Structure 1
Amino acid sequence: MRFVLASQSPARLQTLRSAGVEPEVIVSGVDEDNVTAESPGELARLLATLKARAVVAELDDHATVLGCDSVLEIDGVAYGKPGTPEIARERLRAMRGKSGVLHTGHCLFDTNTKQELRELASTTVYFADMTDDEIDAYVGTGEPLVVAGSFTVDGIGGPFVTGIEGDYHNVVGLSLPLVRTMLAQVGIAWPSLWTPVVKRPDYNESEAARYDDSRGGVERAQAAARAVGELLPAGSQRVLELAVGTGIVGAELVALGNLVHGFDLSTAMLQHAKVRLPGHVAAADATRLPVADRRTDAVVAIWLLHLLDDSTPILAEVARILRPGGVFLTTTEKNEATRYAEGRDPNTTRAQDSLTRLVAEAATHGLALDGATTFPGPRRTTGNAPIYPLIRFRRI
């Protein structure tokens, strides 16, 4: 079944993913600023309906489309995304110490049954009495500029929400119990949407020992390093490599004249990396790097993002540590490259390293795509050698 989320909200996408559902995302393009309604709740429901219908109109085959939109109501006034720091600061000062109602409109359109369901979920939210300094600091993070009501409950704004009455997920962006009920009305059981869990490699000692030979060895590492060298800005480079693994790619980057520091979670892999990059590797989670803000010139991630359940935290962390003008180089479409080389059809599910997803998500963290290249992998026993894309983002 094709299940489509008609929303660009990362929070809504993550809410569904955390519940075991991997939707296809299609952004509607609806101009929210020019839509009006009789009440904040009706406005949220109308916007959700317009989003779902706009996406349905673009489909060329059957799908079940979910459109959502959230509006915060305080004293009868509707508040959407503030857009500017000045407006966000003004709204947060007006909200502090008060309560509001977060309305989320839901529209489910099933093209098979030709049914359109429109529902509204409302949750009361209580806000802390924030100080002016706290408001200025929060606005400075940029988070309240792009969310309805200028706050989040699941992000940086969480400590400023003292309580809620109603569905927590509704405040994040969509009501999971309501969506489940709506799907049942069109004959779709919620468990049928669950995505099978893919077991990830744990890279223990035995896996680390045979990793290089099973992945193309030095030949593949040299090809990857040369491609990275093409996209690194000219001049001597200090490179931070995420998921450095055995250090085989990092060592080739050093041979090209770069200074490489590597991080990895696997202590077994790091034992090998310490030999190739002595004194320059350490154990660390790529979502919580021991690096100061805006201090890094270049970050490289080779064959990492396709392994993740959610690549968003990695992109956010990279954006945090990159200085303005710094670059992030990463492989993309890794699994698709292998499928094409073997003559198989493209995968219908959305991988965490898909180009379209990475470009859209990176943009929300101030990372703009500005370069790309490809490099070949080792020839396989069946099919052609896969061609791996490598892309470059620049920190704005």
Structure 2
Amino acid sequence: MNRPRFVLASASPARLKTLRDAGVEPEVIVSGVDEDNVTAESPGELARALATLKARAVVSTLNDHATVLGCDSVLEIDGVSYGKPGTPEVARERLRTMRGRSGILHTGHCLFDTTSRHEIRELASTTVYFADLTDDEIDAYVETGEPLVVAGSFTVDGLGGPFVTGIEGDYHNVVGISLPLVRRMLAEVGIPWPALWKTPSKFEYDEAEAARYDESRGGPERARAAAEAVHELLPKGGRVLELAVGTGIVGAELVALGNLVHGVDLSPAMLRHARIRLPGHLAVGDANRLPLADRRCDAVVAIWLLHLLDDSDPVLAEVARILRPDGVFITTTEKSEATRYAGGRGPNDQRAQDALTLLVARAAAHGLVLDGATTFAGHNQARGGGTTPVYPLIRFRRSGR
């Protein structure tokens, strides 16, 4: 079963976590809708209208088919809508109004499937009962900053959880997304919920594997050698994206050499280590479908990635898409044809996806022209007293067309 492209049109960490906990890894595209300037006849209709605007705004930016889900939540008390308070003063006033009472948390959902051009707009509503908070509890809660950025000035899955005494309805809806409702909406456009489950990837690592990864791959010396070689081939200045950034060990060395580096990786465990080295510059991402707009990068780097792939062509296509004209793609390549046999591949087996002749031909089809090369030594990589391996590094340049 092929997993469809599923996009979450929301910046909410709680919605993303809820989907991830249910086995779904959506692509996140923030809509940019100005929520403060939208009005409706009722709190529920406001939530549904905002969700619809978010979904439509993201759909308008797509250049490929996807199923887009927009969500927005509004708390209703006595017929009045309460969104994000924004300031401590407003949050404090709202929490005092809410204490000891109940409200209705409305979450609007809008699903737009670009293949069928089917748009579904739904609303889920859950009654929430609030504890009789003291002024000191309200002050302490507001000081955490949490109630300032959530609808209704409270959470049920965070620091505000102890202040919610009960709910009637779907718990996940209070968090910001009704999973049972989304399942039904997806079914209407022909997508069964299990089709969204994320299948295990050979590129994902658990925490133990991530913790020992650097040592098993030559450690800081090899990373420094790789970064210095890459630096020789990079244009000066500009934005560098490292694919399969891993623990960030090479990226950090590139930063030390004066480069602005961002990284993507499929493995959350690897990225937890990378965030120590490259704080604020990382994202979970698939090299086959990068979360960047066209022509945004001056350089893309892939160290020890392509040889792991079943097909390198989709990655080359994505690299060409996000590179600016005259931007460069730098990647390691197969050391020699001897590695085919060392890896157990015979003459009739599938070619290594980092084989030089294969890469040159495929890259050219995407407007990437080979125009540079160098090598670096694999420090701490010699086996059984053998010689230290030498890794070829090649550079492609994006044509200006």
TM-score (norm 1): 0.61
Structure 1 equivalent of residue 205 of structure 2:
200
Residues 328-366 of structure 1: CA distance to partner in whole angstroms, max 9, x if unpaired? 4777789854379636533999xxxxxxxxxxxxxxxxx
Q: 1:57 to 1:20 in 2, by over 3 A?
A: same
Q: Does 1:185 align with 2:188?
A: yes
Q: Secondary structure at the match of 1:21?
A: coil
CA distance in 1 between partners of 2:90 and 2:141 (Å): 13
Contact 1:220 1:377 in 2 (8 A): no
Q: Secondary structure at the match of 1:58?
A: coil
Contact 1:105 1:121 in 2 (8 A): yes
Q: Does 1:118 align with 2:121?
A: yes
Q: Does 1:13 align with 2:16?
A: yes
Contact 1:103 1:120 in 2 (8 A): yes
Q: Secondary structure at the match of 1:346?
A: helix
Q: Does 1:136 align with 2:139?
A: yes
Structure 2 equivalent of residue 338 of structure 1:
302
CA distance in 2 between partners of 1:147 and 1:310 (Å): 29
Structure 1 equivalent of residue 374 of structure 2:
none
Structure 2 equivalent of residue 63 of structure 1:
66
Unaligned runs of 5+ in 1: 228-242, 257-301, 319-326, 350-375, 388-396
Q: Identity over the aligned pairs, expressed in percent?
A: 62
**Mapping of 1:101-112 within 5 angstroms?**
101-112=104-115
Structure 1 equivalent of residue 35 of structure 2:
32
Structure 1 equivalent of residue 84 of structure 2:
81
Q: 1:93 to 1:20 in 2, by over 3 A?
A: same
Q: Secondary structure at the match of 2:315?
A: coil
Unaligned runs of 5+ in 2: 231-245, 257-261, 288-300, 307-311, 319-329, 336-353, 357-391, 396-401
CA distance in 2 between partners of 1:102 and 1:348 (Å): 44
Structure 1 equivalent of residue 168 of structure 2:
165
Residues 210-252 of structure 1: CA distance to partner in whole angstroms, max 9, x if unpaired? 9635346623257679x9xxxxxxxxxxxxxxx999xx99xx9
Contact 2:302 2:332 in 1 (8 A): no
TM-score (norm 2): 0.60
CA distance in 2 between partners of 1:164 and 1:309 (Å): 34
Q: 1:175 to 1:310 in 2, by over 3 A?
A: farther
Contact 1:339 1:345 in 2 (8 A): no
Q: Secondary structure at the match of 2:110?
A: strand
Q: Secondary structure at the match of 2:129?
A: strand
Contact 2:263 2:282 in 1 (8 A): yes
Q: Secondary structure at the match of 2:302?
A: helix
Q: Secondary structure at the match of 2:85?
A: coil
Structure 2 equivalent of residue 308 of structure 1:
268
Give the letter aligned to residue 79 of structure 2: G
Contact 1:6 1:27 in 2 (8 A): yes
CA distance in 1 between partners of 2:9 and 2:59 (Å): 9
Contact 2:247 2:270 in 1 (8 A): no
Q: 1:338 to 1:138 in 2, by over 3 A?
A: same
Contact 2:247 2:273 in 1 (8 A): no
Contact 1:124 1:164 in 2 (8 A): yes
Contact 2:102 2:129 in 1 (8 A): yes
Contact 1:6 1:28 in 2 (8 A): yes
Q: Secondary structure at the match of 2:19?
A: helix
From 23, 26, 32, give the equivalent of 1:23. 26
Give the letter aligned to residue 338 of structure 1: A
Aligned residues: 289
Of structures 1 and 2, the larger Rg is shown by: 2
